[in-house]
Chain A
């Protein structure tokens, strides 16, 4: 049985899957169980190194994407609450990371993370981290989302993803789940905000790992992200589209 996948094999799989290759530093980080479903034991070693490279291409308005085809990556446009289509990766110059957090209006676990997301926003937004909230449930109306943003005191722009275009790109599975992209387009972290929930019925009094915060801190310090993937607990996004 294939337990560990060699780096060479992994790189090959990614080339097949994506249609183009990113410079070597990001190859391993973009490995994903979705791309390699037969590799349950695959370990992801994300190496940070994209920010300097990305800084040189600051005039690029759209960040090319990793983990999908170039076509889908460049084509995705999501609606703001005002009905304007925008690229979810669009960012002002000087941005160091883009955090896309998948949330939903009536998912209790997702909602309980609102204060923590606000805390992270307050800590990192001023340091060049751009936060967006992605609402993947097509049944949630614009009005309901507006009310939700206000009641829970969310910060950051809200986008709707009713056809799960971004869900597929980021491979998000539940709400709440965060995907952190470097300016290079590399998916640097995807998963839970922290480990407070072990499963829907088991919650710690306090988290013992703050994965999203640790990832952002590491990025801003120019260090490798401690853990590139961490499974999230919450409401399944795939159910929204059934």
Chain B
């Protein structure tokens, strides 16, 4: 028998089975109209109840006959349009955790039930009503945090995006296995993005706004923790991480929680909380968060089909764990595709009608294995015409990249695991310059419309420094120094970036300015000392570096500079002593190995290279 023949036979068999089941379905419907107790309740309990229960994240409960009956037409309408249950990914991508759309038969059943008067049916047919508790689904958290005061949401108007900065009261580093977000007021809280900020930037943004939280940008320093998604959409709770996958939470870290709220018609109090679940084991494997997307977005008014694309070639083998598309209101189609080295493709995510209100994290049931040299690509389209009902600005105007909801974004976050930490390093080293180069495009855009924000200039300058573009860093730090000349930090930053770009004289001038404003600025003393040492002004250098060590005894760089100065002066015993002090200050492993090399050289009486 040929393959073709066998296939045909199989097809015939399948179509016969389908015919049979269709016929039996007809018999069932002919026997009587569907009832709530027998037919609809099982669907509602399994597919709607997780959100539509009393006090749940949906705006009303559907668990009882009475509750479903007086929404019967609405249920028929929104299931038919597939607005409910909310699931935006098309069937071709995945399979994802929670991907369980209603079948055509289930949708049809709800239609028939509604159109035939939504009968209740025999009480004996009713399955056991599930219990949903409005409490922590992952169990009692080890730590619960929340904003210090509740926020009052106005009664009317359009959606509100507000960022709350929540300090984490921990005095030691902890390993986090999971977070659970409780919206506090599920009626208005639509979704939450959670990031971590190890700096005080977000806190300063929050302090500048008198009401709880602030409206505006998520700081660049607020990031996902070591390659893990954090966030909440109704009905979606990320499971606890397996052993060895926890992420590290350092003391002094703030949660930065952006909450999307939809006014209800009356003033609402919003007091969300975050439950944290700790584990005892440090991470063994840490995922990497890749991000494809464009910050050069520039959409002409009226353009019905603006497209962005981006791609990245994997330098190592990976397993894709999850993806999260992010875009605002004008995005229409979302696509993420992996093209393997052999030319085969895998659809990572496909959304035909994007809705910014449903920002799910799509977790694969089984990780998607992709070999080295696979191309990850994204393609999003946007409609900036007046006929797009989601267009937030009418008549349409030119739209750029930006975090505010009237701006646009187009990102595809891709969470991957590498085979080992060496592969991880390779991936991060290859990926980070790409994503930072995109970030500076976004910053330059935002700075054009907000040119006097010191925070924005400082942020982008830091990124330029990391990218090795010290001249551009110096330009932005110079603007900060001009905007805020009374701040020692702005002159320190400018001086440091000038030093990196080799403009030593200008650098020293700025560092001296910083020290005029703030004479006890340890890091300014240290950097100035380092430059003086380079210039051969060793004694002046020694004065500044000694002052840096005195002011900040735990500054590893200052001890390292002190050692170098002593070595230049031929005082190798003192140099060795300074390096030993630095090594006792718990440097990171890469710094420690550098220090050990120095130590070895100084012990042998070899001065540092000029």
Contacts and interface: CB of A to CB of B under 8 A. Distances in A.
Contacts of B117: 242
A221 interface: no
B449 to A, nearest CB: 20
Interface string B326-337: 000100000000
Contacts of B262: 112
A240 B355 CA distance: 30
Contact of A236 (B73, B157, B158): B73
A137 B70 CA distance: 9
A200 to B, nearest CB: 5
Contacts of A235: 70-71, 74
Interface residues of A, number: 29
Contacts of A112: 156, 262-265
A33 B157 CA distance: 33
B77 interface: yes
B40 to A, nearest CB: 13
B77 to A, nearest CB: 7
A106 B81 contact: no
A112 B77 CA distance: 20
Contact of B266 (A152, A205, A206, A238): A152
A139 B266 contact: no
Interface residues of B, number: 35
A111 B265 contact: yes
Per DSSP, chain B at the interface is: loop
Contact of A114 (B73, B265, B390): B265
Contacts of B84: 201
Contacts of B390: 202, 204-205
A106 B72 contact: no
A242 B72 contact: yes
Given A108-B60, A115-B156, A238 B73 contact: yes
Nearest to A112: B265
B392 A205 contact: yes
A198 interface: yes
Contacts, number: 86
Interface string B62-73: 000010011111
B69 A205 contact: no
A115 B60 contact: no
Interface in B170-193: 187
A44 to B, nearest CB: 24
B407 to A, nearest CB: 13
Contacts of A108: 59-60, 187, 264
A239 B69 contact: yes
Contacts of B159: 205
Nearest to B114: A239
B158 A206 contact: yes
Contact of A201 (B83, B266, B394): B83
B60 A106 contact: yes
B389 interface: yes
A167 to B, nearest CB: 14
B155 A115 contact: yes
B155 A239 contact: no
By CB atoms of chain A within 10 A, which of B72, B155, B187, B262 has the most?
B155
A22 interface: no
A6 interface: no
Nearest to B154: A115
Nearest to B386: A208
Contacts of B81: 199, 201
Nearest to A106: B60
B78 interface: yes
A4 to B, nearest CB: 26
A118 to B, nearest CB: 8
24 contacts: A106-B59, A108-B187, A111-B265, A112-B156, A116-B156, A137-B70, A139-B66, A151-B266, A152-B265, A152-B266, A153-B155, A200-B74, A200-B77, A201-B355, A202-B83, A202-B355, A202-B389, A204-B390, A205-B393, A206-B158, A236-B74, A240-B70, A242-B70, A242-B118
Interface of A: 106, 108, 110-116, 137, 139, 151-153, 198-202, 204-206, 208, 235-236, 238-240, 242
Closest 10 CB pairs of A and B: A115-B156, A201-B83, A205-B392, A111-B265, A114-B265, A236-B73, A108-B59, A152-B266, A239-B70, A112-B265
Given A115-B263, A201-B81, 17 more contacts: A106-B60, A113-B265, A114-B265, A114-B266, A115-B155, A115-B157, A199-B81, A200-B74, A200-B77, A200-B78, A201-B78, A201-B355, A204-B389, A206-B394, A238-B73, A239-B71, A239-B73
